[in-house]
Amino acid sequence: MSAAPSLGTTPLLEVSNLRKHFFSPQRWLSAAKPPIQAVDGVSFSVARGETLSLVGESGCGKTTTAKSVLRLIEPTSGSVKLDGEELLSLDAAQMRAHRRHLQIIFQDPYASLSPRLSAGEIVAEPLRNFGDWSAAQRHERVQWLFSKVGLRPDAAKKYPHEFSGGQRQRLGIARALALGPKLIVCDEPVSALDVSVQAQVVNLLQDLQTEFGLAYLFVAHDLAVVRHISHRVAVMYLGHIVEVADRDTLFKAALHPYTESLLAAVPLPDPRIRRERILLQGDLPSPANPPPGCRFHTRCPLAQPVCKEQRPALTQRSVNNQGGQWVACHLR
């Protein structure tokens, strides 16, 4: 690969050749069992104020990539730079100081909120853990955060079980915003919500991005949501990025056969319009034993002999002011 797909401006987040391989915890088994190559050489960047979505089937490595960026799980190798500073070489204390810039919104808002804390205490928790906010400053900040995410200030006294799913996700967003982060990892933030509530939360995320210049690394499998919120989209398959493009290019003119198959599975709003479905053969192969060459060759309708032998590099196919289109395929 010649370079990490980027917008061309100085990136806020720069991820290079990131790997996360899971080894068997028992040493005597490690030698015999191959590691699970959940993420295997992933490179991308996110600009300030940009939303880059990571999409792909369950098990493609998108959540592992996002958690590795945050060091919620330790990457095996690679580089993760925030504002030019390498995060993977920081010790625990140094990393802690950077956590205020990097926050996460989880998929299941209920599971991510302590049931024993009031909503106000949950949102104030990062303020207690980082920096020296007085009680009065914390109270004022929490009230402000509640107003920013569309919650009434008096809701601070309630407990998580007293909120609806959408309100709980607003709480999760308020907590993520508390320290004024630069980048928020959104790990399937609306997939547990009703469709009507999903739109409200996605719109809220967009409004907050505009107001605060936030960057989002948005992990999702729902392509309708991805189309709505993304500036650029990176498609992952079995631990590799196979295509990156700006949102409009990807949805109108995808090049990688796997991206085409993902898009062909999205229902069209007009039932009179028919789209050719591309049915993938077989299941996603095991990341402990990925196919050689192009990892997609066992399911690709266009596969050629070369695809079984040589891994296609992610290379730039077209240029525009949104980073262009990058594809890993011998034929496209």
Q: Which residues contact ligand SF4 by CB under 6 A?
A: 256-257, 294, 296-297, 300, 302-304, 307, 312, 329-331
Separation CA 68–CA 54 (nearest Å): 13
Nearer to ligand SF4, 48 or 311 (CB): 311
Task: Supply the minimum distance, in Å, between the C-beta of residue 240 and ligand SF4.
Answer: 10
123 closest CA partner among 170, 185, 190: 170
Element (H, E) at 122: helix 119-129
* Residue 254 near residue 223, CB atoms below 8 Å: no
- Neighbouring C-beta atoms of residue 146, cutoff 10 Å: 21
14 closest CA partner among 210, 182, 130, 178: 182
- Which residues share a beta bridge with 185? 104, 217
Separation CA 156–CA 145 (nearest Å): 10
Task: Supply the minimum distance, in Å, between the C-beta of residue 296 and ligand SF4.
Answer: 5
Task: Supply the minimum distance, in Å, between the C-beta of residue 262 and ligand SF4.
Answer: 13
Write a three-state SS string for 34-51.
Answer: CCEEEEEEEEEEECCCCE
Task: Supply the minimum distance, in Å, between the C-beta of residue 251 and ligand SF4.
Answer: 19
Task: Supply the minimum distance, in Å, between the C-beta of residue 278 and ligand SF4.
Answer: 12
Q: Which residues of 46-73 are buried (b: 16+ CB within 10 A; e: fewer)?
A: bbbebbbbbbbbebbbbbbbbbbbbbeb
280 closest CA partner among 295, 264, 301: 301
Nearer to ligand SF4, 170 or 256 (CB): 256
Nearer to ligand SF4, 101 or 256 (CB): 256
Nearer to ligand SF4, 231 or 297 (CB): 297
Task: Supply the minimum distance, in Å, between the C-beta of residue 257 and ligand SF4.
Answer: 5
3-class state of residue 291 by DSSP? coil
Task: Supply the minimum distance, in Å, between the C-beta of residue 35 and ligand SF4.
Answer: 23
Q: Torsion over CA of 58, 59, 62 and 64, rounded to 10 degrees?
A: 130
Q: Using CB atoms within 10 A of its CB, is residue 196 exposed (0-12), middle (13-18) or buried (19+)?
A: exposed
Nearer to ligand SF4, 275 or 308 (CB): 308
Nearer to ligand SF4, 126 or 257 (CB): 257
Task: Supply the minimum distance, in Å, between the C-beta of residue 267 and ligand SF4.
Answer: 24
Nearer to ligand SF4, 88 or 303 (CB): 303
Task: Supply the minimum distance, in Å, between the C-beta of residue 180 and ligand SF4.
Answer: 42
Nearer to ligand SF4, 63 or 298 (CB): 298
DSSP tag of 192: T
Nearer to ligand SF4, 81 or 330 (CB): 330
3-class state of residue 239 by DSSP? coil
